[in-house]
């Protein structure tokens, strides 16, 4: 059902006053003319934007779209929708803000208008194009999340910023450091790998005042995201740090995460996923019991030592009842990666790190039947263009989600998060390593098949059973793989999986 909309009504009735400068008598000089108003391409248009309910997207559109609406003479209406119902629940909307995982379903059903070519010009200001600066978008967006197959359909409005937080006051405590060193024969430091993360959770879980040491897992989104963040570095070899054997299909190895790129067969029961689920099961013993609240709230209350959360939680940690002194680092990688061809574990010096992305944030898309597609794309380009994207990224209420490669170069802007210099440096370095690491060609992303919700539900059922102690990890994931096979033939899944990665399938 359509929800009540909010209307931003710019004032358009400015009165131009011409100032006629008369030449001195007898000079006969020409009179000066009044300045001309900039042309309004969409004067009088009412543009309706559908946004997910309960998200910052509504505020972002209203706040950052207001100047554009005033400049163009547009009446902007912003209407929330229930995520389960989808954006088409808002009748007549010209622009939809959606989660990245929804793009595959909508694009495959031919519900979306392709992004006009003028927004994809590599050189800003190129004749016939617009100053959108497509080439400065991160490859994650240009080459993956905005695309279905070889066509772009979306632009990024809200990015994501997954981070690992830890209790800095405990990590620098001399007695804690000595105890950790005696137990593990190494210095107490933030976790670089999931194996180190688990060791830290277990170490603090056994100490007075820090047990349990981990926040609870909240709803499906938290469980799904943390499981896949674990699995990404265990099941996929990072392209940037390792050369692939010459006799292998590079695309098959680099892009086979949820499914095998070459065959379409599910990979969720492969050894890397099983290892990740067993690690997750190990962490479950260190968690605070679920209380129906988002997990990071326990960290904000000083009840947990380690926490996975987006950068938007920083402000809430600072305002929490105990205001824990925290450090920030990159989400861990894995000490082991399981070979794509053999399934055998291989130790990686320094860890294998493949970020898991596309599980948060918002993309903007224009429905194919929109009445005002040109205006919708113009607003979308304004919201995700260089200037507004930077403002959105450094707003602590929802920010941190970098979508352009130059957004991390403005060190001063990141002071908006209220961190000290060391914390700010750690924050920007972690985001750089996660979102903009040079050479990382194969980040793992949330599944974007047209029936993604059904695939996700089948997998989550099995993961929950393992975390509850009702099933073995290997048996549960084999069951999940079988349920995935029942959702459709492997060949169709192979084609859709390649398209979901922004690629053209071989033979497709």
pLDDT of the residue at 417:
95
Lowest mean pLDDT among 56-70, 115-129, 181-195, 202-216: 115-129
Instruction: State the first-to-last Cα distance of the chain, in angstroms, to the nearest integer.
Output: 39
Query: In the predicted model, is pLDDT for residue 252 greater than 80?
Result: yes
Across residues 475-495, what is the average pLDDT? 98
Query: In the predicted model, is pLDDT for residue 33 greater than 70?
Result: no
CB 445 within 8 A of CB 144: yes
Query: In the predicted model, is pLDDT for residue 47 greater than 70?
Result: yes
From the candidate CATH numbers 3.40.720.10, 3.40.190.10, 3.40.50.10860, 3.40.50.1970, the one assigned to the domain spanning 41-159+360-407? 3.40.190.10
Percentage, residues of the chain above pLDDT 90: 79
Across residues 473-479, what is the average pLDDT? 98
pLDDT of the residue at 504:
84
Across residues 109-128, what is the average pLDDT? 78
Q: Which sequence spans correspond to the domains of the chain?
A: 41-159+360-407, 162-357+441-500
> What's the whole-model pTM score?
0.90
The token pair that represents 69 in the structure block: 């609406």
Percentage, residues of the chain above pLDDT 70: 88
Q: Which of 331, 164, 339 is nearest to 234 (CA)?
A: 339
pLDDT of the residue at 13:
36
Examine domains 41-159+360-407 and 162-357+441-500 and report if their fold is the same.
yes
231-245 pLDDT per residue, tens: 999 999 998 644 455
Query: In the predicted model, is pLDDT for residue 351 greater than 90?
Result: yes
From the candidate CATH numbers 3.50.50.60, 3.40.190.10, 3.40.50.1000, 3.40.367.20, the one assigned to the domain spanning 162-357+441-500? 3.40.190.10
pLDDT of the residue at 98:
98
Q: Which residue has the higher pLDDT, 41 or 468?
A: 468
Query: In the predicted model, is pLDDT for residue 32 greater than 60?
Result: no
β-strands 46-52, 75-81 pairing: parallel
In whole angstroms, give the CA distance from residue 185 to residue 438. Answer: 33
DSSP β-bridge partners for residue 26 = none
Query: In the predicted model, is pLDDT for residue 21 greater than 70?
Result: no
Across residues 184-203, what is the average pLDDT? 97
Query: In the predicted model, is pLDDT for residue 17 greater than 60?
Result: no
pLDDT of the residue at 126:
47
Across residues 215-244, what is the average pLDDT? 88
379-438 pLDDT per residue, tens: 999 999 999 999 999 999 999 999 999 898 877 789 999 999 999 999 999 999 999 987
DSSP 362-417: EEEE-BTT-S-HHHHHHHHHHHHSHHHHHHHHT-TTT-----BTTTTS-GGGGGGG
- By CB neighbour count within 10 A (0-12 exposed, 13-18 middle, 19+ buried), where does 213 fall? buried
Average pLDDT taken over every residue of the chain: 89
pLDDT of the residue at 249:
64
441-452 pLDDT per residue, tens: 899 999 999 999
Lowest mean pLDDT among 61-75, 397-411, 474-488: 397-411
């Amino acid at each position: 059902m359509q929800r009540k909309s909010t209307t931003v009504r710019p004032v358009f009735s400015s009165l131009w006053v011409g100032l006629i400068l008369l030449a001195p008598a007898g000079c006969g000089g020409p009179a000066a003319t009044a300045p001309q108003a900039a042309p309004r391409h969409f004067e009088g248009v009412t543009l309706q934007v559908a946004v997910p309910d309960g998200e910052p997207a509504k505020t972002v559109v209203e706040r950052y779209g207001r100047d554009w609406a005033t400049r163009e003479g547009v009446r902007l209406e912003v209407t929330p929708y229930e995520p389960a119902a989808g954006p088409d629940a808002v009748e007549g909307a010209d622009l939809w803000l959606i989660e990245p995982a929804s793009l595959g379903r909508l694009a495959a059903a031919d519900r979306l208008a392709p992004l006009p070519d003028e927004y994809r010009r590599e050189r800003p200001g190129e004749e016939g194009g617009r100053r959108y600066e497509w080439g400065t978008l991160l490859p994650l967006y240009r080459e993956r999340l905005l695309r279905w197959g070889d066509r772009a359909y979306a632009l990024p409005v809200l990015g994501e910023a997954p981070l690992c937080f830890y209790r800095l006051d405990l990590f620098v405590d001399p007695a804690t450091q000595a105890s950790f060193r005696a137990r593990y024969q190494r210095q107490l430091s933030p976790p670089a790998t999931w194996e180190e993360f688990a060791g830290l959770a277990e170490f603090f879980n056994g100490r007075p005042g820090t047990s349990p040491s981990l926040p609870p897992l909240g709803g499906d989104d938290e469980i799904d995201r943390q499981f896949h963040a674990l699995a990404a570095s265990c099941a996929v070899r990072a392209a940037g740090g390792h050369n692939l054997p010459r006799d292998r299909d590079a695309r098959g190895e680099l892009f086979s995460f949820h499914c095998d790129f070459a065959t379409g067969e599910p990979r969720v029961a492969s050894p890397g996923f099983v290892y990740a689920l067993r690690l997750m099961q190990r962490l479950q013993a260190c968690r605070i019991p679920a209380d129906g609240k988002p997990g990071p709230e326990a960290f904000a209350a000083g009840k947990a030592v380690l926490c996975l959360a987006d950068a938007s939680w920083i402000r809430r940690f600072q305002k929490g009842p105990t205001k824990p002194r925290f450090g920030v680092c990159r989400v861990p990688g894995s000490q082991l990666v399981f070979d794509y061809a053999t399934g055998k574990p291989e130790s990686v010096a320094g860890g294998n790190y493949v970020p898991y992305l596309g599980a948060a944030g918002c993309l903007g898309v224009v429905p194919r039947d929109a009445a005002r597609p040109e205006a919708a794309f113009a607003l979308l380009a304004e919201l995700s263009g260089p200037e507004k994207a930077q403002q959105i990224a450094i707003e602590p209420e929802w920010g941190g989600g970098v979508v352009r490669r130059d957004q991390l170069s403005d060190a001063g802007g990141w002071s908006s998060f209220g961190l000290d210099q060391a914390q700010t440096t750690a924050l920007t370095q972690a985001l750089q390593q996660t979102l903009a690491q040079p050479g990382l060609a194969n980040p793992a992303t949330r599944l974007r098949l047209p029936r993604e919700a059904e695939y996700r539900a089948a997998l989550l059922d099995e993961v929950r059973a393992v975390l509850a102690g009702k099933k073995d990890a290997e048996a549960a994931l084999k069951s999940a793989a079988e349920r995935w096979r029942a959702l459709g033939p492997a060949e169709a899944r192979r084609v859709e999986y390649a398209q979901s990665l922004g690629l053209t399938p071989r033979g497709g």
